[in-house]
Amino acid sequence: MLPDGRVPAAGASCASFGTVSPGTAPSAAVAVPVLLRSVCDAQPTTDKHAAAISAKGTKRDLMFAKYSIRLCALPLPAIAAAVNCDVNPARKIDIRALLLDDLQKTLCAWAEPKYRAAQIADWLYQKRAVDFASMTDLPRNLRQRLEAEFTIGRIDIVRVLGSRDTTRKFLFRLTDGNLIESVLIPASPALYGSRSDRRTICLSTQVGCAYGCKFCASGLEGFSRNLRADEIVEQIIAVERAAGEKIDNIVFMGMGEPLANFDNLMRAIRIINAPWGLGIGARHITVSTSGLAPQIRKLADDPLQIRLAISLHGATDAVRNQIMPINRRYNIDMLMAACEDYVARKKQRLTFEYILINDVNDSAEQAHMLAARARYVSAKINLIPYNTVAGLPWSRPPRERQEAFLSILRAAGVAATLRREKGHDIDAACGQLRLQTQRELQAR
């Protein structure tokens, strides 16, 4: 599949339009990301879509949405000319979406020695080469061929919040103009069971999110597309480059639902974990899910010992139904059954994430029910005081109420921690920086 030039499991991406990156014309500077988003979304761009954009945005958004409807019918070079973008009509694959095995097969098909694959991986993940020309121990004709068939993508950091000693949030613009974010969390005691000297990155797996949890910024603007494996891996590389620090703990708790982008997620995890890749141990990789029961079982089939966190946020269907639409599809009993299966097969402890939201899920009754559920599957509990999101009505309970909730869990014999949100002051909850930036762009 891969060597023939197709992006692996790309999902609803820009693939049908090729690789598009914003141009520099002053008139296009603000509009291009909005426009490209419409152009590149694989969803059909209809008048209804334009109306939705205009309802949320400005007259100019409507104009661009309509413009993009017309553009969608045009061939790629015409779109490029119209929006003044650089386009790569060859639709090259990013080489960082390939596993070593894929690389070896490609080289084999080119009649090159297999060991070249390890050399290329070394350039990509150890030496962090940004182009093929710098891979000086490869023969020139191989470098040229790689150049002709692949790209080494870079995602641009467009905004950084926070400082060196605190949680830092990075906003990226993807090559199709979409915005995503990652959070770099400095050494933090016992975060997801890791040692306190680990630097953690919180990665996004999708642009937006389709699951629409009522408290979350990521779902507010809906779902745009899945990230490809290379876009997931590149978040780590770009943050390490910008921060000058090595990251050694990964949590998939940024924007999107990782298990809804299963194939790209697993491909990215293999690259992150492999000795030829980023070499981060499976036990230092945590995937968080809002409760996709079938995919939890699918994850249990995978031999990698990555950790799993369940975003529970309610101990009963009544509470979960109120804030997490996914619970209507997989209710709490179905979710617990999948967790039980996971634990039995993986012989590993789960973590329940539980955001404390004032007067929604923070009663003593919920705490007792939660303790019972955690004991049933031997899960640890991570309590997180809710981070307010502009435009949403929820707030965190007062500190004493948070502590009271924690005490009930501990008295019931459950391992539980109450996290002081490191990133509260920089809106670190997933999706918030992107949302804020998008709103600023629309208001211009």
* Catalytic position from the list 213, 216, 339, 430: 430
253 binds ligand SAH (CB under 6 A): yes
Would you state the structure tokens that stand for residue 349, as one six-digit string?
A: 């402890």
353 binds ligand SAH (CB under 6 A): yes
219: partner contacted, choices ligand SF4, ligand SAH, none (Cβ within 5-8 A by kind) = ligand SF4
**Closer CB to ligand SAH, 153 or 208, in the complex:** 208
Are the C-beta atoms of 120 and 99 separated by less than 8 Å?
Answer: no
Q: Please report, for residues 166, 185, 425, the alpha-carbon distance to residue 162 in angstroms, rounded to integers and kept in the order given.
A: 6, 10, 9
**Closer CB to ligand SAH, 57 or 314, in the complex:** 314
Phi, psi of 237 (to 5 degrees): -65, -45
387: partner contacted, choices ligand SAH, ligand SF4, none (Cβ within 5-8 A by kind) = ligand SAH
Which among 88, 76, 80 has a CA at the least distance from the CA of 19?
88
311 binds ligand SAH (CB under 6 A): yes
Q: Which amino acid is at 2?
A: L
34 binds ligand SAH (CB under 6 A): no
The stretch near ligand SAH (CB under 6 A) out of 39-47, 284-292, 315-323, 366-374 is 284-292
257 binds ligand SAH (CB under 6 A): yes
33: partner contacted, choices ligand SF4, ligand SAH, none (Cβ within 5-8 A by kind) = none
The stretch near ligand SAH (CB under 6 A) out of 43-51, 180-188, 237-245, 385-393 is 385-393
**What sign does the dihedral 217-223-229-235 (CA atoms) show?**
negative
> Which spans of this chain sit near ligand SF4 (rule: CB under 6 A)?
209, 211-213, 216, 218-219, 256-257, 290, 311, 430
95: partner contacted, choices ligand SF4, ligand SAH, none (Cβ within 5-8 A by kind) = none
Buried-exposed string 292-321: b where 16+ CB fall within 10 A, e elsewhere = bbebbeebbeeeeebbbbbbbbbbbeebbe
- Give, to the nearest 10 degrees, the angle between helix 31-40 and helix 47-56: 150
**Closer CB to ligand SAH, 120 or 312, in the complex:** 312
State the chain's maximal CA–CA distance in angstroms.
69
286 binds ligand SAH (CB under 6 A): no
**Closer CB to ligand SF4, 414 or 429, in the complex:** 429
Pairing outcome for strands 206-208 and 223-226: antiparallel
**Closer CB to ligand SF4, 124 or 296, in the complex:** 296
Would you state the structure tokens that stand for residue 78, as one six-digit string?
A: 């015409």
Query: What number of chain residues touch ligand SAH (CB under 6 A)?
Result: 16
Alpha helices in 132-226 (DSSP H): 140-149
C-alpha dihedral (207, 212, 215, 216), degrees to nearest 10: -10
Nearest approach in angstroms of CB 302 to ligand SAH is 18
Pairing outcome for strands 200-202 and 179-185: antiparallel
What whole-number distance in Å separates Cα of residue 363 and Cα of residue 324? 18
Are the C-beta atoms of 353 and 309 separated by less than 8 Å?
Answer: yes
The yes-or-no answer on residue 216 being catalytic is no
What whole-number distance in Å separates Cα of residue 211 and Cα of residue 197? 33
249: partner contacted, choices ligand SF4, ligand SAH, none (Cβ within 5-8 A by kind) = none
Nearest approach in angstroms of CB 23 to ligand SF4 is 31
List the interface residues with ligand SAH, window 155-184 (CB under 6 A): none
List the interface residues with ligand SAH, window 211-240 (CB under 6 A): 215-216
DSSP lists the bridge partners of residue 159 as: 171
429: partner contacted, choices ligand SAH, ligand SF4, none (Cβ within 5-8 A by kind) = ligand SAH
Are the C-beta atoms of 176 and 255 separated by less than 8 Å?
Answer: no
* Catalytic position from the list 181, 231, 257, 353: 181
352 binds ligand SAH (CB under 6 A): no
355: partner contacted, choices ligand SAH, ligand SF4, none (Cβ within 5-8 A by kind) = ligand SAH
Which among 115, 116, 114, 136 has a CA at the least distance from the CA of 127?
136
Q: Which amino acid is at 185?
A: I
253: partner contacted, choices ligand SAH, ligand SF4, none (Cβ within 5-8 A by kind) = ligand SAH
Would you state the structure tokens that stand for residue 332, as one six-digit string?
A: 């709490």
The yes-or-no answer on residue 221 being catalytic is no
Judged by CB under 6 A, the residue of 68, 151, 286, 387 near ligand SAH is 387
102 binds ligand SAH (CB under 6 A): no
Would you state the structure tokens that stand for residue 413, as one six-digit string?
A: 């014999």
**Closer CB to ligand SAH, 122 or 302, in the complex:** 302
Give the catalytic positions in this structure. 181, 430
Residues at the contact surface with ligand SAH, assessed by CB under 6 A: 215-216, 253, 257, 288-290, 311, 353, 355, 384, 386-387, 389, 429-430
